[in-house]
Structure 1
């Protein structure tokens, strides 16, 4: 009897957590996002690749958990920051800005919303721990990498506050970065502007440039082709394709590639535009409702475009938002210089610490830029409000974030095991997600 009772003690917590996970995934993926059974299985198979991939695909679980936790370092609800909303290691990358500079910055804005800066900082800190653990790097280095991220975040905010740097003009190039980021930026300088077009298009027998069809890039029917062309009257559209197989959280959202005539910073005349369906930002389901924000960004495509414009010094000149068949989309250029830092690009553990420090500075830049200097939603400078909270106890702030991040990493690892069990169960069930 005693052993059975102890077994119950050990299993009850896991059973209750598994029920929570099931409820959250059913609510968001099935009832809110309306993913089909097939789409859910496709998404979940990607998520079971690793705890880090699981973390990437379950932002709603992160917000479900963390918005329940009080902190003395949150900014007040009436002084929110425009946050990126899905901060993690793989949502930073290189691209070309409007001036033709190859820069490094955040590159995903689908979950942009207004709330406490702390959710971006914490989510990024957890992702650092998970990412490094996946590479076999021990917790001591994880601790150092998170410390580097947070300390550089704070230092950069202080530089903005003291007017030593301007968030409206600061960009990250090969001149002010180091390690794998700098090496990638230098290497991309040699890449031709035609890279993306030549990679996914071909000149056909009629002398016309069209997409190359494969498992990920497929043609659309004429009716849909004509609808999309009508949405972008300022472009001559040469071809349209539906894009499959991108991302994890984006599964179930329509994505199209448009091959158009147009000019970018280098004057190249063929561009690939991406038109992606977007839904309500996940943080919005958990944060206080912000009436002023939604008055300006009720269209979800406008919200994503607004987030990117707010956070990038020089924005993509092709940014736009449209509505088609009742669904909302945003449009942006598919950059030929798009590239992220991968595990193989790091030469030492020290370079992880160096890189997360640069990411901390970038996070500070996007938080400080998207305020009174850019948007009429704000009447204050975000760096002032954030630093006011951090300076309640700067050392304690750093220690608390690291402690919480490493603890939440363990929760993610445990959740990942429960999730893998659940996916096997629903795959083998005769009533899979009906």
Structure 2
């Protein structure tokens, strides 16, 4: 009898969580995102690759869970931080800034919003644990990597507070980084800007540069070409393609590559590719306090993403813009030919993971500290001051608490991943 009752307890707990998952996925992917059955299946197939991919594609589930958990380390609701909103290991990368330097920074701003800094910190910490788990590293290594991330974050905030560094000008290059990040940046220095264009384009029989078609890069219809040309009247457009297969959470949103002529980058090279991506409301906005001042400035979702990137990057992309086309909102930026992530193959030992997460902590501190009164009139205070005040003097307690929460949530992600597999099989078996 006791065994039967225990099984009933386990079944009921899983049944309730299964029901929560189903309602959340139906609401956000089915209603808010309005994804078709085919688009949802494409997204879910990617999420089924592993728990880390599942975590990347279900930010709404993360916020549904963690916004219910109070913490003494949250900043006051009246003094939020401009957060990246979807911080994880694969949302950092290398690219060329507008001075021609190859830098390493956060490279995704679709979920930018205002709220407690702690949501970025916890989401990144969970992602570190999941990422390292996928590489076969044990719990101790995962916890130590998170520790380095958090220590890097706190130490960099303190440097800003003491005026030892300036968040408005600090950037991360081969000269002030180590390990895999430094190696990737040094390797990119040898890459020619034209390599990217050669990879995705060709000179046709008429002597014009056009895109090369493949599974991920496909031609657009005449109507799409005309509509995009209409909203970008200041560019001499050579060709337009629709881009498939990028990201996880953004699957189902339209993304275009636009080959333009007559524009030059910091090094004077002509011909570049713009990326025009459809954007919806930020996922954190559904769960965090409504900020009237923020929305007064960034009602257009493309403006919100562009504003987030400008706030968090030292040197802004001169091609950043936002448009509305056929009732949908988009943002535009240059698709950097130097875009590159640190991949699993780039790590050679444990120390490489620790050095990398520490630098990611410094970068996270930079984007939080920069996107306040230094950049935007939405803020009347310095975020680094408010964050350090919330963390207090007992840094070790903050670190231990965050690691504990991240590791517990990692286990929930693995459990949810199994339920998700069952649900997708049930929902899309036909």
Cα displacement (A) at 1:260:
0.2
Query: Quick check: 1:193–1:266 contact (8 Å CA) kept in 2?
Result: no
SS class of match (1:298):
coil
Q: Which residue of 2 aligns with 1:399?
A: 400
Cα displacement (A) at 1:74:
0.3
Q: Which residue of 2 aligns with 1:81?
A: 81
Cα displacement (A) at 1:393:
3.0
Higher mean alpha-carbon deviation, 230-239 vs 103-112, is at 230-239
SS class of match (2:250):
coil
Residues 278-317 of structure 1: pairs in structure 2 closer than 5 A: 278-317=279-318
Q: Which residue of 2 aligns with 1:70?
A: 70
Query: Quick check: 1:201–1:209 contact (8 Å CA) kept in 2?
Result: yes
Matches of 1:16 and 1:311 in 2, distance apart?
39
Matches of 1:275 and 1:195 in 2, distance apart?
21
Q: 1:227-276: per-residue Cα shift (whole Å, max 9, x none)?
A: 11121122100001111111111111111110001101111110000000
Query: Quick check: 1:80–1:114 contact (8 Å CA) kept in 2?
Result: yes
Q: 1:383-411: per-residue Cα shift (whole Å, max 9, x none)?
A: 00000000153221111000000010000
SS class of match (2:322):
strand
- The alignment status of 1:58 with 2:52, answered yes or no, reads no
Q: Which residue of 1 aligns with 2:344?
A: 343
Q: Which residue of 2 aligns with 1:366?
A: 367
Structure 1 vs Structure 2 CA RMSD:
0.8
Higher mean alpha-carbon deviation, 257-266 vs 226-235, is at 226-235
Q: Which residue of 2 aligns with 1:164?
A: 164
Matches of 2:220 and 2:42 in 1, distance apart?
22
- The alignment status of 1:21 with 2:21, answered yes or no, reads yes
SS class of match (1:323):
strand
Matches of 1:367 and 1:339 in 2, distance apart?
23
User: Unaligned 5+ residue runs, structure 2?
Assistant: none
Runs of 4+ in 1 over 6 A off after TM superposition: none
Matches of 2:395 and 2:347 in 1, distance apart?
30
Matches of 1:39 and 1:233 in 2, distance apart?
31
Matches of 1:74 and 1:329 in 2, distance apart?
32
Matches of 1:7 and 1:309 in 2, distance apart?
53
Q: Which residue of 2 aligns with 1:245?
A: 245
Matches of 2:354 and 2:201 in 1, distance apart?
39
Q: Which residue of 2 aligns with 1:102?
A: 102
Q: Which residue of 2 aligns with 1:272?
A: 273
Q: Which residue of 2 aligns with 1:136?
A: 136
Q: Give me the TM-score of the superposition, normalised by structure 2.
A: 0.99
Higher mean alpha-carbon deviation, 212-221 vs 122-131, is at 212-221
Aligned residues: 429
Q: 1:176-219: per-residue Cα shift (whole Å, max 9, x none)?
A: 00000000000000100112211100000000110011111111
